[in-house]
Amino acid sequence: MATDNSATRWVGPLLAALLALCVGSCGFNESNVAAGNRDGVFHFGNGTEPQSIDPHVMSGSPEVNIARALFEGLVTRHPHTMEMVPGVAERWDISEDGKVYTFYLNPRARWSNRDPVTAEDFRWSLHRSLHPQLGNQLAYTLFGIVGAQDFATGRNTDPESVGIDVLDDLTLRIRLNNPDPYFLSTMGTYPTYPVHRATVEAHGQWTDRFAQWTRVGNFVGNGPFVLSEWKLNRRLVVTRSETYWDREKVTLNAVVFHPIESATAEEKMFRAGQLHFTQLVPLSKIPGYQAMDNSPYQQHRWQGTYFLQLNVRRDPLDDKRVRQALALATDRQKIVNTVLLKTEVPNSALVPVNTPGYQSPPAPDYDPQRARQLLAAAGYPGGEGWPGMEFVFNTSENHRKIAVVLQQMWQEALGISITLANQEWKVYLDTINEGDYTLSRMGWIASNLDPATYLNIFTSESGINRTGFSNARYDEIMLELAPAEADPEKRNALMREAEAILLEEVPLLPLYTYNSKHLVQPSVKGAPPNVLDVQNYKYISLDPAIPVWKGEG
């Protein structure tokens, strides 16, 4: 899971211009992509500078992109079929009742210092990932394991109480509270990645968030690549591991992660042949790319929802009718078709559209007439007496566009005015985590296809439910009934009921389901777009025979 932080920076155009200048004047130099195609070096645009490469500390996409190269979980997802395939575990058993998972580790699995990867490594790492003093924001994704929640919240300080058992060096058993059809995919996510105990302990406490073990020279990992260079705000380089068990399959010699925050700068670099793969594509450039023959532009439905968070504790949003009125006065289709240039899919529910096996309950259509009635019933007929409201969003071109459109849309439909305020990403996170807002935006990207990933956000026990929404029936379904339900049909029905409560109470106002958008050099093979937008560098290769794409004209 990762939060969406696509901050466009003021320096972007300037940087891009400087870069274009350099590319023009140093034209005799071979481009990154041409050299990379020949030498097997993959140049990857990675958004921002990673905060950490410790898999139990990270939570953002740029960090996770790097962790996938440096570590490997028990299982991993095949980027083409989206199936869970062997990682460190060569096979696994699931008990009849679906509550006990036994993983059999590959005896050839090695750390980058040639130590064998053992079941104890995983047990220790999972304890670390759950440890309350480490403060892993994603510890809750492991709460399906017996005793994990109590340990992670400090109710039980004994790690032995967690249902993770080492049967022998290469056999790990994990016990769950309830059968969970998505548990296997959880074991492929970064909060479950193993870290090397001796290395971590050599550089501090095991619960230190920012210790030196993640530095070049100290670092030990078990993934297909190892850390070889990390220049702050310039690049992070990983090179092919000599000890990785499946190293024959790895064809890339290195991956270079370029931290480029501005989509505009990234696109310019791509056109100059400096990147194989971009993290973002500037919205205004998309129609041009779509119209091209042999376009490097890749767009694919993504398991992510863009929504507004409504603080139900704040006036005037503490009145359900006001929240419903806002939802009814929001013309999603229009927003997507105009300012977003049809690059996203309108969604009036929380769970992304086309989630396999799940259908969100129907939400009321755009209906400004009904919205006006509701607002009048709430005491603001035609916007009279409206106390005003501030919409906070993190600084980004796209968020600003959406905010400006909503501001005017609600002004016209309801006669109410809202003010806009943008904040820098980290300030913004503080603001919403403290609940110090009336209306804000959020994007939520899932790392699996389980609808519960989304619905769990709004339980009253969730740390990321920043709206103050709390509903007894909703909690009952999402915390007790749905997790215990083994029949997928009945489980889905329960979740539909829960989602219907959300649509009725409107603590969130969904706008659209994301599409992932990348520019990819034609020489890149084995990186197909997929619904989770994950790439496994192990399967990626570069074809030196294919020339560098540098744009037309």
Partner 1 sequence: MTTEVITDITEAEQGSSLWHDAWLRLRKNKLALFGGITLILFVIIAILTPWIAPYSYETQNLDLGATPPSAAHWLGTDIFGRDLLTQIMYGGRISLAVGFVATSVALIIGISWGAVAGYVGGRVDAAMMRFVDILYALPFMIFIVLLMVVFGRNILLLFLAIGAVEWLTMARIMRSQVQQLRQQEFVEAAISLGLPPSTIIRRHLIPNALGPIIVYTTLTIPSVMLLEAFLSFLGLGIQPPQTSWGLLISYGAETMEEFPWLLIFPGLALTLTLFSLNFLGDGLRDALDVRRSKD
Q: Does 342 bind partner 1 (CB under 8 A)?
A: no
d(CA 285, CA 17): 16
**Which residue of 401, 464, 504, 546 would you call a contact of partner 1, by CB under 8 A?**
401
Q: Which of 344, 397, 499, 533 binds partner 1 (CB under 8 A)?
A: 397
* In the complex, least distance from residue 270 CB atom to partner 1, rounded to whole angstroms: 14
Q: Cα 425–429–433 angle (5° rounding)?
A: 170
The Cα–Cα gap between 159 and 152 comes to 9
Q: Which of residues 236-275 bind partner 1 (CB under 8 A)?
A: 264
Give me the amino acid identity at 529: P
Q: Which of 30, 83, 168, 424 binds partner 1 (CB under 8 A)?
A: 424
- Residue 509 in contact with residue 330, Cβ under 8 Å? yes
Closest to partner 1 by CB, 212 vs 338, is: 338
Check: CB of residue 110 under 8 Å from CB of residue 245: yes
For position 290 contacting partner 1 by CB under 8 A, the verdict is no
Work out how close the CB of 335 gets to partner 1 at its nearest, in angstroms, rounded to a whole number: 8
CA-to-CA dists, residue 387 to 383, 419, 438, angstroms = 9, 11, 12
- Are the C-beta atoms of residues 349 and 510 closer than 8 Å to each other? yes
Task: Supply 492's token pair.
Answer: 């889905």
| Residue 395: C-alpha distances to residues 47, 135, 284, 392, 460 (Å) | 15, 27, 17, 9, 28
- The answer to whether the CB of 522 falls within 8 A of the CB of 216 is no
- CB-count exposure of residue 248 (10 Å: 0-12, 13-18, 19+): exposed
Residue at 269: amino acid letter: M
Q: If binding is defined by CB under 8 A, does position 354 make contact with partner 1?
A: no
- State the minimum distance, in angstroms, from the CB of residue 10 to partner 1: 5
Among 22, 198, 292, 404, binds partner 1 (CB under 8 A): 404
Q: Is residue 400 a contact point for partner 1 (CB under 8 A)?
A: yes
Given its phi and psi angles, is residue 417 left (phi above 0), alpha (psi -120 to 50 degrees) or beta?
beta
- Contacts to partner 1 from residues 9-38, by CB under 8 A: 10, 12-13
Looking at 412-507, which runs of residues are DSSP E strands?
419-423, 439-445
Q: Which stretch binds partner 1 (CB under 8 A): 396-404, 452-460, 470-478, 525-533?
A: 396-404
Amino acid at the residue 364: P
Place of tokens 């005037």: 316
User: Does 157 sit near partner 1 (CB under 8 A)?
Assistant: no
Q: Does 339 bind partner 1 (CB under 8 A)?
A: yes
Inter-axis angle of helices 320-328 and 397-414, nearest 10: 110
**Closest CB to partner 1 among residues 235, 285:** 285
Report the residue number, 100 or 405, with the smaller CB distance to partner 1. 405
Minimum gap (Å) between residue 404 Cβ and partner 1: 5
Binders in 309-338 for partner 1, by CB under 8 A = 334-335, 338
Residue 285 in contact with partner 1, rule: CB under 8 A = yes
User: At its nearest, how many Å lie between partner 1 and the CB of residue 551?
Assistant: 11
> For partner 1, how many residues bind (rule: CB under 8 A)?
30
431 touches partner 1 (CB under 8 A) = no
**Smaller CB distance to partner 1: residue 214 or 264?**
264
Give the one residue of 137, 239, 423, 541 binding partner 1; rule: CB under 8 A.
Answer: 423
Is 430 among the residues that bind partner 1 (CB under 8 A)? no
Counting Cα atoms < 13 Å in the Cβ hemisphere of 404 gives 10
Report the DSSP beta bridge partners of residue 41: 254
Q: How far apart are the first and last CA of the chain?
A: 39
484 near partner 1 (CB under 8 A):
no
Number of other residues whose CB lies within 10 A of the CB of residue 7: 20
Work out which of 62, 87, 144, 282 binds partner 1, going by CB under 8 A.
282
Residue from 422, 431, 460, 470 binding partner 1 (CB under 8 A):
422
Smallest separation, CB 289 to partner 1 (Å): 12
- Where do contacts with partner 1 occur on this chain (CB under 8 A)? 8, 10, 12-13, 264, 282, 284-285, 287-288, 334-335, 338-339, 395, 397, 400-401, 403-405, 407-408, 411, 419-424
